[in-house]
Amino acid sequence: MVNAKSRSMGQETFRRLLKNKGAVCGMVFLVLLVLISIAAGFVYNYDTDIIAINMSQALQPPNANHWFGTDALGRDIFARMLYGARYSLIIGVGSVAIGLVIGVTLGAIAGFYGGFVDQMIMRTVDVFYSIPNIMIAVVIVSLLGTSTMNLLIALCFTCATSFTRIARASVMTIRDQEFVEAAYEIGLPTWKIILKHILPNCLSPIIVQVTLLIGTTIIAASSLSFLGIGVPLPAPEWGAMLSEGRQHIRDAAYMCIIPGLAIMFTVLALNLLGDGLRDALDPKMKR
């Protein structure tokens, strides 16, 4: 009991999280994936191993030399897949991070001030919310052109709207509590009250949303690349690899299966971690 009292909230959450087998599996997978995507940059040379065309090796099914086979241009799918982890992770984490900063700022302002400011922000969010995600991305990419950076920008809109709503709702429930009033009374500036006293108390739903949204964003990014409006070729993005695989679905089905498994397990790991975090942060909610 003495120990339990001396733990911080973060430690306590982490301890609960470690009891959840699914979340631990998810975490281990994600750590491995990050290590792989970093290592891939040292092991493989982008120009010679990842995008170099080697027609003599084209369309080989999985074998001892090419564990996952080769694609229509003779490139090793195993190497491309490991390297491709970078794109998914960078886009997923990047757009959620940008969306987080924009969304939480807007949501906190809307929730804290209420009234006209709140109305303005929330109505704008509603408009973006009513346009289907994929359409927002389509419009932005056709406006800016296809590139990894533009894809990241396109996807952060959706993340931002979702964070704005969550942050606003949490801030509204907290802003009238006594400790916020106390902070006012001792004369703290508003921004400091929001940043130091209100936001730390809204963290739980935001952390959970971050984990789950990274997963959704990774799927969205690979979907757009699959449609040819995401990461431009010849980059080994998983969705783009599936799009190439689709051309050979009859003669080289392995090309269509492997990159999809990579996407699925990454998102699965994120979902397991997200669900675990939700239970760990709010044990009352656990079902």
Residues 208 to 227: which contact another protein by CB under 8 A?
Answer: 215, 219, 222-223, 226-227
Residues 231 to 260: which contact another protein by CB under 8 A?
Answer: 239, 242, 245-246, 249-250, 253, 256-257, 260
Q: Does residue 272 interact with another protein by CB under 8 A?
A: yes
Candidate residues 134, 153, 207, 233; the one interacting with another protein per rule CB under 8 A: 134
Question: Segment near another protein (CB under 8 A), from 42-50, 66-74, 140-148, 158-166?
Answer: 140-148
Q: Does residue 140 interact with another protein by CB under 8 A?
A: yes
C-alpha separations of 226 from 6, 256, 274 in Å: 50, 11, 26
Q: How far is the CB of 138 from another protein (least distance, A)?
A: 6
Q: How far is the CB of 272 from another protein (least distance, A)?
A: 7
Q: Does residue 158 interact with another protein by CB under 8 A?
A: no
Q: How far is the CB of 227 from another protein (least distance, A)?
A: 5
Q: Does residue 230 interact with another protein by CB under 8 A?
A: no
Q: How far is the CB of 90 from another protein (least distance, A)?
A: 18
Cβ proximity to another protein, 159 vs 171, nearer residue: 159
Which H, E and C letters describe the chain, residue by residue? CHHHHHCCHHHHHHHHHHCCHHHHHHHHHHHHHHHHHHHHHHHCCHHHHHCCCCHHHCCCCCCCCCCCCECCCCCEHHHHHHHHHHHHHHHHHHHHHHHHHHHHHHHHHHHHHCHHHHHHHHHHHHHHHHCCHHHHHHHHHHHHCCCHHHHHHHHHHHHHHHHHHHHHHHHHHHCCCHHHHHHHHCCCCHHHHHHHHHHHHHHHHHHHHHHHHHHHHHHHHHHHHHCCCCCCCCCCCHHHHHHHHHCCCCCCCHHHHHHHHHHHHHHHHHHHHHHHHHHHHCHHHCC
Cβ proximity to another protein, 40 vs 154, nearer residue: 154
Cβ proximity to another protein, 167 vs 258, nearer residue: 258
Residues 86 to 125: which contact another protein by CB under 8 A?
Answer: 123
> Where do contacts with another protein occur on this chain (CB under 8 A)?
123, 126-127, 130-135, 138-140, 142-143, 215, 219, 222-223, 226-229, 239, 242, 245-246, 249-250, 253, 256-257, 260, 263-265, 267-268, 271-272, 275, 287
